Structure 1
Amino acid sequence: MTSFFGDIQKIAFEGVDSTNELAFRHYNPDEIIMGKPMRDHLRFSVAYWHSFAWEGGDPFGGPTFDRPWFGDEMALAKMKADVAFDMFKILGQPYFCFHDLDVRPEGSNYAENTCNLEEITEYFEGKMAETGTKLLWGTANMFSNRRYMSGASTNPDPEVFAFAAATVKSCMDATHRLNGENYVLWGGREGYETLLNTDLTRELDNMGRFLSMVVDYKHKIGFKGQILVEPKPQEPSKHQYDYDVATCHGFLQKYGLENEVKLNLEQGHAILAGHSFEHEIALAQSLGVLGSIDMNRNDYQSGWDTDQFPNNVPEVALAYYHILKGGGFTSGGTNFDAKLRRQSLDPVDLIASHAGAMDICARGLKAAAAMLEDGGLESALNDRYAGWSSAQTKDVMDGATLESLTNWVKEQDINPAPKSGKQERLENYVNRFV
Structure 2
Amino acid sequence: MTDFFEGIAPVRFDPNATDDLSFRHYDADEMVMGKRLEDHLRFAVAWWHSFAWPGGDPFGGQTFERPWFADVAGDTMEAAKMKADAAFEMFAILGQPYFCFHDADIRPEGADFAENTSRLDEITDLIGMRMEAGGPKLLWGTANLFSHRRYMAGAATNPDPDVFAFAAATVKTCIDATQKLGGENYVLWGGREGYETLLNTDLTREREQAGRFLSMVVEYARKIGFDGTILIEPKPQEPTKHQYDYDVATVYGFLREYGLEGEVKVNIEQGHAILAGHSFEHELALAASLGILGSIDMNRNDYQSGWDTDQFPDNVPEVARAYYEVLRAGGFTTGGTNFDAKLRRQSLDPVDLIAAHVGAMDVCARGLKAAAALLASGELEAARDARYAGWDGSDLLSSDLGAIAARVEAEGINPAPRSGRQERLENVWNRYV
What range describes the TM-score normalised by the shorter chain of this pair?
Answer: over 0.9
**Structure 2 residues not aligned, in runs of 5+:** none
Q: Amino acid of the residue matched to residue 202 of structure 2?
A: D
User: 1:273 & 1:215 partners in 2: Cα distance?
Assistant: 26
Given that residues 55 and 65 in structure 1 are in contact (C-alpha distance below 8 angstroms), is that contact kept between their aligned partners in structure 2?
yes
Distance in 2 (CA, whole Å) between partners of 1:398 and 1:159 is 50
- Deviation at residue 344 of structure 1 after TM alignment: 0.3
Matches within 5 A, 1:22-61: 22-61=21-60
Following superposition, the deviation at residue 71 of structure 1 comes to 4.3
Amino acid at match of 1:55: P
The structural deviation recorded for 1:31 is: 0.4
Deviations 1:336-393 (A, max 9, x none): 000000000010000000010000000001001000111111011011111111x4xx
Which of 82, 93, 102 is residue 99 of structure 1 equivalent to? 102
**Aligned-partner Cα distance in 2 for 1:69–1:167:** 24
Map residues 286-365 of structure 1 onto 2, 5 A cutoff: 286-365=289-368
Offset, 1:398:
5.5
Equivalent position of 1:427 in the other structure: 426
CA–CA distance in structure 2, aligned partners of residues 3 and 128 of structure 1 = 20
Q: Deviations over 1:22-52 (max 9, x none)?
A: 0001100000111110000000000000000
State whether structure 2 residue 377 is matched by structure 1 residue 370: no
Q: Distance in 1 between matches of 2:201 and 2:327?
A: 41
Considering only aligned residues, what root-mean-square deviation do their CA atoms show, in Å? 0.9
User: Structure 2 CA distance, aligned partners of 1:91 and 1:424?
Assistant: 40
The aligned counterpart of 1:20 is 19
Partner of residue 127 from structure 2, selected from 124, 129, 140 = 124
- Which residue is equivalent to 1:159? 162
Give the structure 1 partner of residue 399 of structure 2: 400
Give 1:18 deviation, angstroms. 2.6
Mapped contact 1:267–1:297 kept (Cα < 8 A): yes
In structure 1, stretches of 5+ residues that fail to align are none
Q: Which amino acid aligns with 2:238?
A: E
Could you say what secondary structure the match of 1:24 adopts?
Answer: coil
C-alpha displacement of 1:399: 2.5
Label 1:411 to 1:54 Cα distance change in 2 as closer, same or farther (>3 A). Answer: same
CA gap of 1:398–1:281, structure 2 versus 1, over 3 A, is closer
TM-superposed deviation, 1:131: 2.5
* Rounded Cα–Cα distance in structure 1 between residues aligned with 2:2 and 2:153: 40
Q: Does structure 2 conserve the Cα–Cα contact (< 8 Å) formed by 1:187 and 1:232? A: yes
**Cα pair 1:152 1:161 within 8 Å, conserved:** yes
In structure 1, what is the Cα distance between the partners aligned to 2:162 and 2:223? 24
Identify which of 367, 380, 385 aligns with 2:383. 380
Aligned match of 1:412: 411
Aligned-partner Cα distance in 2 for 1:189–1:84: 28
CA contact (8 A) 1:93 1:133 kept: yes
Q: SS of the counterpart of 2:84?
A: helix
Contact 2:266 2:292 in 1 (8 A): yes
Q: Is the 8 A contact 1:85 1:131 kept in 2?
A: no
1:194 aligns with 2:197: yes
Assess, with a 3 A threshold, how the Cα gap between structure 1 residues 310 and 321 changes in structure 2: closer, same or farther: same
**Equivalents in 1 of 2:34, 2:417: separation in Å?**
40
Q: Does 1:78 align with 2:77?
A: no
Return the alpha-carbon distance in structure 1 between the equivalents of residues 306 and 332 of structure 2: 30
Instruction: Output the TM-score relative to the length of structure 1.
Output: 0.98
The 2-side partners of 1:124 and 1:224 are apart by 21
2-structure distance, mates of 1:386, 1:171: 49
TM-score (norm 2): 0.98
- Aligned-pair identity (%): 71
Counterpart among 137, 141, 145 of residue 140 in structure 2: 137
Question: Which AA in structure 2 matches 1:338?
Answer: A
1:170-205 CA distance string (max 9 Å, x none): 111111100000000010100000111100010000
Instruction: Give per-residue Cα distances to partners, 1:127-169, cap 9 Å, x unaligned.
Output: 1111231000000001000000000000000000000001001
Retained in 1: the 8 A contact 2:91–2:135? no
CA 47–398 in structure 1, closer or farther in 2 if over 3 Å, else same: closer
8 Å CA contact retained: 2:88, 2:135: no
**How far off its partner does 1:3 sit?**
1.2
| Secondary structure in 2 matching 1:285 | helix
> How many Å separate the matches in 1 of 2:140 and 2:21?
27
Between the aligned partners of 1:249 and 1:357, the Cα distance in structure 2 is 30
